[in-house]
Structure 1
């Protein structure tokens, strides 16, 4: 926690910035951010649809050529300039503060709907025990859409609250609020130190149980059997790069913020590799567990895995409940699966909110508790107004598609162009990373970030824009996609510009003596960028 100033009446900027007490806690927190809902319900299906076992080749290339290099870019900016996303970018160059606020606002939108999915998963832990969906004549899908979400037939905005979604969402926000108020060490670190081991243990048990189900081998064969012909399709490579960008939490402002809490003498590249491959290891584990369970589902239905394979909400809340109803010890499988979603969601939600809280702490000079209350309460209120309603699913689907996918790609593309070709800061950032890192960054890293990164991001962004222009997203009305899709994505950019123009408070961190000392130490310790083994 921030310590009191040594001089009475000194500005808040003189208070010491929190740091993770150990490298292990930073890694747990960073992995907790990266390992989210997408690892469990998106990666297995993306791999299956794009060559099965052969997909691991472009996936590994994407990790090494794009994911890890961009992760290092986030680390270098956050650690060198010692601040939240807006503050770190401003310290790098006054004109880039807007990029930080863009990331903050993206996190704001993601947070308001992310809590809803966590609440759904929490309720489904209980439903797994009672098998509530068995009572619906339309099965798991009918129960989810009609009984649980009570989805309106009309796409729009309704304030008809669904009680059994509102209550768990409220609990999610209360738990998250307590963690955020406690700060980096007493809140975020401790929460991840508890949630991440629980998540791993629960998911390992789930995987072990799944692979012994009848038909599991068929599911695993479908998942791992390589289709090398798929590697000739550019869309497969684009899918690999696209998944990695979202999976590692790059360009969200999360890793910039978290790395600003690392101690001055930290092995940044070593920690980055641990985080990246721990995230990938969990995704592979998720693929095994999910497809073993889908193999059982296909076996019971007398169909092929291809007929039951799905991703996202369909996998979690329709396919898996069906498996729970049919499998031996199905209730345990359900509790383990949905419990894993809860813990994965909570660790990611905490990191998303930290981006917002830290930004306003730095800009306005607020202490932790008031900053958390002023930031998280409005987020929670908006979340509780929009998403535990009969139209919440439509809003969630649209915002996720336009803000989480389109918005992040656009922001990431601008980021790599600005810091690469625009400001030419990659050599300076590489030199900073090389101070205490086990693997040094050299020409290869600069080429990957300044060349491969923009090319891959630009290709994906163009495809994303074209797909959304050519047809109305999900068949929703044009006005709905215009307001909550394109309109929301555009509003975030305008909001980021406005926030960057607001003057920094006199108590803000912009003129922090601690940072000045940090900069002096950094400049004194920087090694030649060619020293050591290069990436």
Structure 2
């Protein structure tokens, strides 16, 4: 481990870890998931999911990365050389996610610029889907590049390269230490202002009041409620993407891994709950001022950020010229730090096997990534993005969690990872954690994987099926190539 690949201190590592976890899923996914799954009743399975899936799995990747001081592909090769292929398969998933995640960041940059003069106009729905995205479900739309989005995505990749190619602490570490505190500070200001708006209490009440549609006991026995909670924790904490494993491999000796993992998980959850209060305060304001039921103004994902909230900013008068830009700045900070984390697992693996510098690895990754991203800047890009996101999350991401639990829980000696985790911690993990990793998480996530892929298969049309089959073929073939290429590093 060279000096340039080691965090200067535990605080830098913690800021980078929080930056990787806090992303778009916290800001625009959690509020909708919580509300649509019973409001206040969602909090119970959500807390259980943090304790029984989120925190325990963080420790798997923390312990493995810290113990081996290597990328996943190298770690699995050390366990059994036949497992190297699995490592490259897992590493490809966060990289493919990054290729379309940069497109969403590009949308945000455009909206950040527009927010200073509310350039989206009065019909925010039409502006987003037609004027900006030129969205079409016709596959031939892939040949029609939307120039503003193309330029924005190119700009995002330049930023990612500029930060990631530098020394670990001067680039990624420094950016996270600046942006994460700024993100929290600005978001706190937005939330504090939001709760003073007329109708804010209506929104907050809608978020936290349990729906209890069939009574507390029956509702809490609903398997879909629990799957939604576990799914939110998986996506929110970026479990299974090897980010935590890679980041922990850069750690110096003597770090309290147990305490650090606990802080990261709780900070992530506190941030998304706090942000949800702000989002629902704003939605409550819109509901009251426009005399529209709150059910009709709540939506998920891009619809919330790029359609509903711009409409709210229009209604805020002069305040919208301040809150709007601040909101899109927060989205940019959260998305950028997450994007920077998605590049690290593959970059580390390329350096480990082929001995290339961080600078070169980042350059190759960014050039290829940008070329792939171009397809998402087309008129058909939004449809492709949805297909990629559905498949990579439902099939790939959940599968990687199961794989890591099996390898580190059953094949590798899990007691060694426990020893690594407990080495510098007063709070020890033991048999309960071991049981969760070996049995509980694989069973729960396995059920989610089967159900999610079944639902995806049932709902997909011919075009979606063909695209996802092509994507699966790429995910199978590319790891074979990387596995068979001869290593340039002797101890690999």
The separation in 1 between residues aligned to 2:480 and 2:409, in whole angstroms, is 21
CA distance in 1, matches of 2:405, 2:415: 13
1:268 aligned partner? 257
TM-score by length of structure 1 reads: 0.88
Aligned to 1:199: 183
What's the offset of the Cα at 1:157?
5.1
* Alpha-carbon distance, 1:424 to partner: 4.8
My pick for the range that moved more, 494-503 or 106-115, is 494-503
- Shift in Å at residue 497 of structure 1? 3.7
Q: How many Å apart are 1:218 and its aligned residue?
A: 0.6
Q: Compute the RMSD of aligned alpha carbons.
A: 1.6
Equivalent residue of 2:116, what SS? helix
Q: In the TM superposition, what are the counterparts of 1:430-449 in structure 2 within 5 Å?
A: 430-449=418-437
CA pair 33-509 structure 1, distance change in 2 beyond 3 A: farther
1:513 matched to which residue of 2?
none
Counterpart position of 2:310: 321
Tell me which residue corresponds to 1:346.
336
Separation in 1 of the partners of 2:324 and 2:490?
47
Corresponding residue for residue 61 of structure 1: 48
Contact 1:70 1:250 in 2 (8 A): yes
CA distance in 2, matches of 1:153, 1:120: 19
In structure 2, the CA distance between the partners of 1:430 and 1:298, relative to structure 1 (3 Å rule), is same
Alignment-derived partner of residue 109 in structure 2: 122
Aligned position for 2:486: 503
Q: Does structure 2 conserve the Cα–Cα contact (< 8 Å) formed by 1:213 and 1:327?
A: no
1:407–1:489 CA contact under 8 A, matched in 2: no
Question: What does the per-residue CA deviation read over 1:172-200, in whole Å, with 9 as the maximum and x for residues that have no partner?
Answer: 11111110111311111001011111211
Select which of 21, 24, 35 maps to 1:37. 24
Name the structure 2 match of 1:181. Answer: 165
Q: 1:368 to 1:508 in 2, by over 3 A?
A: farther
CA deviations 1:388-430 (Å, max 9, x no partner) are: 2211111111101101332101121122123223x15211211
Shift of 1:333: 1.7
Gaps of 5+ in 2: none
Shift of 1:509: 5.4
Contact 2:394–2:453 (CA under 8 A) maintained in structure 1:
no
Name 2:196's counterpart in structure 1. 212
Aligned mates of 2:85, 2:466 — CA distance in 1: 23
* Separation (CA, whole Å) in 2 of partners of 1:491 and 1:503: 20
| 1:139-179 deviation digits (Å, cap 9, x = unpaired) | 11100011111113524552322222122222111111110
- Which residue does 1:470 correspond to in 2? 458
Q: Aligned equivalents of 2:27 and 2:490: distance in 1?
A: 39
- Aligned pair partner of 2:364 in 362, 374, 378: 374
Alignment partner, residue 297 of structure 1: 286
Q: How far has the Cα of 1:87 moved from its partner?
A: 1.5
The residue that corresponds to 1:72 in the other structure is 59
Kindly indicate whether the alpha-carbon contact (under 8 Å) linking 1:401 and 1:485 is maintained by their aligned counterparts in 2: no
Pairing of 1:104-503 with structure 2 (within 5 A) = 104-134=91-121, 139-156=123-140, 158-228=142-212, 229=216, 230-328=219-317, 329-383=319-373, 385-421=374-410, 423-472=411-460, 477-479=461-463, 481-503=464-486
Could you tell me how far 1:508 is from its partner in structure 2? 5.5
What is the rounded CA distance, in whole Å, between the counterparts of 2:194 and 2:139 in structure 1? 37
**In the TM superposition, what is the alpha-carbon distance from 1:332 to its structure 2 partner?**
1.5
- In 2, Cα distance between the equivalents of 1:424 and 1:265? 23
* Most deviating of 181-190 and 87-96: 87-96
Match in the other structure for 2:80: 93
Q: Which SS does the other structure have where 1:387 is aligned? A: helix
Structure 1 unaligned residues grouped into runs of 5+ = 1-13, 511-535
Shift in Å at residue 123 of structure 1? 1.1
Q: Distance in 2 between matches of 1:415 and 1:15?
A: 26
Over 4 Å off, 4+ runs: 14-17
